[in-house]
Amino acid sequence: MVTQSQFSQIQFQAVLNNFSMLYNVMKAVNFVDNAIVQLSNDGMKVIVEDAKSIQASAYITRACFSDYKLAITKPPSSDTGDTQPFIAFGLNLKVFTDCLSMFTSGDYNSSLKMIQKGTGAPLIVILEQHGEDSLITECSVRTMEPFDCMELDFEEEQQIVSKINVKGAEFFQLLSEMDRNCDEIEVAISPDAPHLMFHSFGELHSESSVEITNTSDMLITFSCTDASRNRYKFHHFRLAMRTLALASKVALRTNSEGLLGLQVMIENNDSSHIFVEYFILPLMMDNDQTTM
């Protein structure tokens, strides 16, 4: 157990009074074992990716924590002066979620404290179950050197060809009704009707499609400057659906190269928000039909 005298040596310390939603989000993005954790003054970011074709980043904002302390001693490695400095390390996400699962069942009032002393030190997870029979469990999760991951973003605003905000529950329902046995899904977005179309391709040449106009109740906002049509592995959408099941709102964006971004907003227990952003690479480029 970490003693009070050791707290002066701690680089990172954070407390979540209710961590059930954090546990649900971590389970949802745990489609690979190892993740990168980035700690900044804005909160905690957990990044996972698979086969250089899908990446998920979970943002647990600082507002989610009742206590959040971070001591960053070294400047950011980037040359850009406006880059937010952060501390990064690798973490086995399955081990981390297994630790959290010990106090997530039942109607207990449980809190989570996370502590790390510094580079190379384990992430200490302290779970406390409050009540008449107060229980405290401490786990020490080994950290690793951070590994390289894809740098995917939509910083070039002029490359974005569509921005769509949809209601989370309706979007999850739409994907749930698609053929679960399909191999690929085509997403077509156009300034003209039908403005949004999902077309699935399955075994034995089976196909199904859903068309949505910009007047649909499912859409919150719709903006499209250029028509696009790109195919993706439906397996990647299945991975994202674990998080979409928790979503209150989803923002879809595509750029001129067919990169699809899904930013999922999740209501936390205390009216704060957790965001999960997926980047899914297309199977084909729209302009030259080259397989990626």
Band of the pLDDT at 129, cuts 50, 70, 90? confident
Banded model confidence at residue 76, pLDDT cuts 50, 70, 90: very low
Q: Are residues 108 and 190 in the same domain?
A: no
Q: Alpha-carbon distance 124 to 117, whole Å?
A: 9
Question: Does 161 share its domain with 137?
Answer: no
Residue 199: inside a domain, yes or no?
yes
What pTM was computed for the model?
0.87
Same domain, 137 and 225: no
pLDDT at 104 over 80: no
Mean model confidence pLDDT for the chain: 87
Contacts of 186 (CB under 8 A, 6+ apart): 197, 198, 199, 200, 201, 229, 230, 231, 232
Q: Output the pLDDT for position 74.
A: 54
For residue 288, tell me if it sits in a domain: no
Final residue before a domain boundary, out of 103, 120, 144? 144
- Is 164 in the same domain as 213? yes
How confident is the model over 189-227, as pLDDT tens digits? 999 999 999 999 877 667 788 999 999 999 999 999 999
Q: Domain for residue 97, yes or no? A: yes
Q: How many domains does the chain have?
A: 2
Specify the residue for token string 């002393």. 117
Whether residue 28 is found in the same domain as residue 115: yes
Question: Is 127 in the same domain as 183?
Answer: no
Instruction: Give the confidence band of 84 by pLDDT, cuts at 50, 70, 90.
Output: low
The pLDDT value given to residue 97:
95
What is the CATH classification number for the domain harbouring 174? 3.70.10.10
CB-count burial class (<10 Å; 0-12, 13-18, 19+) for 122: middle
Same domain flag for 140 and 224: no
Residue 133 sits in the same domain as residue 164 = no
Q: Give domain status of residue 285, yes or no.
A: no
Query: β-strand 184-189 against 228-233: which pairing, if any?
Result: antiparallel
Q: What is the mean pLDDT of residues 119-147?
A: 90
Question: Among 57-61, 95-99, 201-205, 226-230, which is the least confidently predicted range?
Answer: 201-205
- Token readout for 219 is 């859409």
**202 and 119 inside one domain:** no
pLDDT band at 286 (very low <50, low <70, confident <90, very high): very low
Asked, for residue 113, whether it belongs to a domain, the answer is yes
239 and 266 housed in the same domain: yes
pLDDT tens per residue, range 12-39: 999 999 899 999 999 999 999 999 999 9
Q: 292 pLDDT exceeds 70?
A: no
Per-residue confidence band for 5, with pLDDT thresholds at 50, 70 and 90: very low
Question: 87 in a domain, yes or no?
Answer: yes
* Domain extent at residue 220: 157-280
**Are both 63 and 179 inside the same structural domain?**
no
One domain, residues 18 and 140: yes
Domain end residue (candidates: 94, 122, 144): 144
DSSP state of 180: T
pLDDT for residue 216:
95
Q: Is the pLDDT of residue 240 over 60?
A: yes
Give me the residue label for tokens 């964006």. 253
pLDDT at 291 (0 to 100): 43
The secondary element (H helix, E strand) that includes residue 88 is strand 86-92
